[in-house]
Amino acid sequence: MSHIDDGRLNALLDGELDAVDVATVQAHIAACPECARRFEEAKRFLAESADLLGALEPPAAAAPAQASRRVSRTAKEAALDVDEATQQSPAIRPVAVEPLLRRPPRPKPERRFDPTSLAWAAIIVLAIGVGYLANEVRHARETQGPATAIVPTAAAQRAAGQVDSNAGGAATTARARDVAAQPPAVSGGRRGSQGPPAAKAPPGEGEPPVAGRTSTGLGHKRLQPPGRAAANLALQAPAQPTKALDAASAPGAAGGVAAAAPAPAAAPAAERNAPQDRRARPVAEGGADSVLTVVPREPEATGAHAQEEARRGAAPGTAFRTATLEEAVASLGGTIRLVDGLEIERVQIGPGRLVAGADSAGEVVRVTYTEAGRALLLDQQRVEAVAGAPAGERAARAADELGPGDTVLTVAPDGWGRARWLDRGGLWLSLSGRVPADTLRALAERVR
Amino acid sequence: MAELYDRYHDSLVRLLYRRTGDRDSAEDLAQEVFVRALETPPANPRPWLFAVALNLAREDWRRAARRGRRLELLKGEVGGTTAPAADAALESDERASAVRAALATLGEQDRSALLLKAEGFSYDEIAAALGLAKGSVGTTLARARRRLVESFHGQGRVQHVAH
């Protein structure tokens, strides 16, 4: 009697066999221990792979969800616009039509009010004006002396105030020229800014790079994804005339544009960043770089943290629960491993299925630390205890793969590093975090 | 088209997110799938939409790799620029990272079959979307499931060092 292949076993599990085949395969499984074993294995792989894929749900964070909702609606609106334009559903549109009519007419580009470009236009006009006035001041100084500068507008009065307070004719003139020279330098600076990829999308340059894929007139209707929108807000905010001038004239700050906004920063975070411009610190003094400033880190961290909080609120409860050290020690059979010299942030207990490499049937104790601002997870599980459990086969396999005294160091493609080892006390340990392999290894050696 | 959109958009985005690991890319690619569906209304929409989505994701990956954008994205992540994450986010981050790494070890066809099955595709639909014989879908899925689970648990035995 030949065995049932894995494909048919999976087809049975997926409900893809017809009634006759189901009866045949089931009868065989009942009579053949080998196929029964493989059937159980196939069941386990099916359940576990579905569980694993479940971990890859698109982030349902509160703010991004709202933003993506907007993006989604836009796509739908665009699709419906086309329908309206053709006065018929594309699904029932006749195929044999003249070539010119085969494609639905592109929706006319909408002229939407774009505050970003308006703000940039404003700053350019303002900068030209200030430059002109500065030139006038210089001219006046050259011809009439330092005390006779005439400044007709409020904006120019600020410039003049600076001129007067500095009392150095030539130096202030050069400074005023720097202000006038800002707009071109600003756009160059933004391109070279150190921000994350999303922050690099210059608002004045139209669509983000991915939009190039869209081959129809749909592209112009798309909203920017949340990260980019936030970046634009951050860039746009200081473009308000008074703020730009304030920043330009603030001591120590040579330019007025804050070119920082982390990709995940939500719009509110970006708005919070705006008032930080006055505290912006220069990246470099002098030259075109001098207009590039970086907003201090704190607001980003706050924004990211708020977002994490929102995500935590939105996420259904995770299987890890906070535990006391005593509970953790009890779970591990009377012992626990800790990273020597680091302060414990929290202790939790959760099911092994949540941790790669751990035995799914057992409990895992997770001790969380923060090292150099990055979270570090020390997961541990008693291997001996679960080896006797019904599904202990996997624990045994884990123990086989990891010989006592071995450490497996891995760095996932996305930078998540992990060191795993079995210690001589019968514990399976995993130390992980977004830290380089060397650091991880050094920290692993401090686990006692 | 609106009906297709309502019915398949979320599912497409989920599949594309699992494939690309990037929410924005997933949204963008899903939009492009619908744009193409507008240009060429498919007779059998579901397999067509998802097959196009998987092709676009593959092209996008190649293109991104060529431009080095992927490298840049990874660099950004490795830099650890965020504050210490809250528990839930951290756990899901860590687990998702491991699952994604495991998924990356699968062959293109196995991965696609698995992702389509996760979206509720029948063997017939998977066969239609991937150009497979229906009879080989079970074998493909069996291999993909086993590989994903084993790869997750025995992940990345890159280097052994004495402890």
Residues B77 and B102 in one domain: no
HSE-CB of A279 using CA atoms within 13 angstroms: 10
Q: Which of B81, B109, B125 is the last residue of a domain?
A: B81
In a domain, B107, yes or no: yes
A82 closest CB neighbour out of B38, B87, B95: B38
Determine the distance in angstroms separating the CA of B160 from the nearest CA of chain A, rounded to an integer: 5
Query: Which of A183 and A373 is assigned the larger pLDDT?
Result: A373
What letter would DSSP give residue B86? P
Q: How sure is the predictor about A12, in pLDDT bands with cuts at 50, 70 and 90? A: very high
B2 and B77 in a single domain? The answer is yes
Residue B161 falls within a domain, yes or no?
Answer: no
% residues pLDDT > 70 (chain B): 77
Cα A388 to Cα A57: distance, rounded to the nearest angstrom? 34
Query: How many CB contacts within 8 angstroms connect chain A with chain B?
Result: 281
Place of tokens 């980019």: A228
Q: CA-to-CA distance for A326 and A341, rounded, in angstroms?
A: 20
Q: How many domains does chain B have?
A: 2
A7 and B137 within 8 Å at the Cβ level: the answer is: yes
Q: Among the three residues B81, B98, B129, which one is the final residue of a domain in this structure?
A: B81
What's the Cα-to-Cα distance from A150 to each of A104, A177, A178, A275, rounded to whole Å? 61, 17, 20, 31
Whether residue B57 sits in one domain with residue B12? yes
In Å, what is the CA distance from A93 to each residue of A217, A319, B44?
19, 51, 15
Whole-angstrom Cα distance, residue A296 to residue A282? 10
Indicate the pairing of strand A292-294 with strand A257-258: parallel
Neighbours of A206 (CB within 10 A): 11
Query: Residue A445 pLDDT more than 90?
Result: no
Is there a single domain that holds both residue B42 and residue B106? no
Q: How far is A5 from chain B (nearest CA, A)?
A: 8
> What one-letter code names the amino acid at A362?
G
Average pLDDT over residues A154-167: 44
Residues B1 and B21 placed together within one structural domain of the fold: yes
Q: Could you tell me if B40 and B99 lie in one domain?
A: no
Residue B29 CB: number of other CB atoms within 10 A? 27
B131 and B62, same structural domain? no
The pLDDT of B31-48, averaged and rounded, is 86
Q: What is the rounded average pLDDT for all residues in chain A?
A: 60
pLDDT digits (tens, 9 = 90+) for A398-422: 544 666 666 777 777 677 788 888 8
pLDDT tens for each residue of A384-402: 644 444 444 444 445 446 6
- Report how far residue A141's alpha carbon sits from residue A217's, in angstroms, rounded to the nearest whole number: 55
Q: Amino acid identity, residue B63?
A: R
- Locate the chain B residue with the closest alpha carbon to A210: B28
- Chain A's closest residue to B99, CA to CA, is A52
The answer on B21 and B7 residing in a single domain is yes
- A102 Cβ contact partners less than 8 Å away, ≥ 6 residues apart: A95
Question: Which pLDDT score is estimated for A33?
Answer: 94
- Domain limits, chain A: 6-54, 117-204+221-305, 321-444
Q: What is the CATH number of domain A321-444?
A: 3.30.200.100
Which residue of chain B is at minimal alpha-carbon distance from A211? B28
Query: Do residues B42 and B93 both lie within one domain?
Result: no
Domain housing B136: 86-156
**Amino acid (one-letter) located at A78:** A
Residues B51, B107, single domain; the answer is no
Cβ A413–B14 below 8 Å, yes or no?
no
Q: Which residues pair with A420 in a beta bridge?
A: A408, A430
- B94 to A416: CB separation less than 8 angstroms, yes or no: yes
CA distance B131 to chain A (A): 17
Nearest-by-Cβ selection for A72 from B9, B90, B137: B9
Which tokens sit at A277? Answer: 């411009």
The predicted-structure confidence for A273-311, as pLDDT tens digits, reads as follows 433 333 333 333 333 333 333 333 333 333 444 444 444
> What does the pLDDT read at residue A117?
64
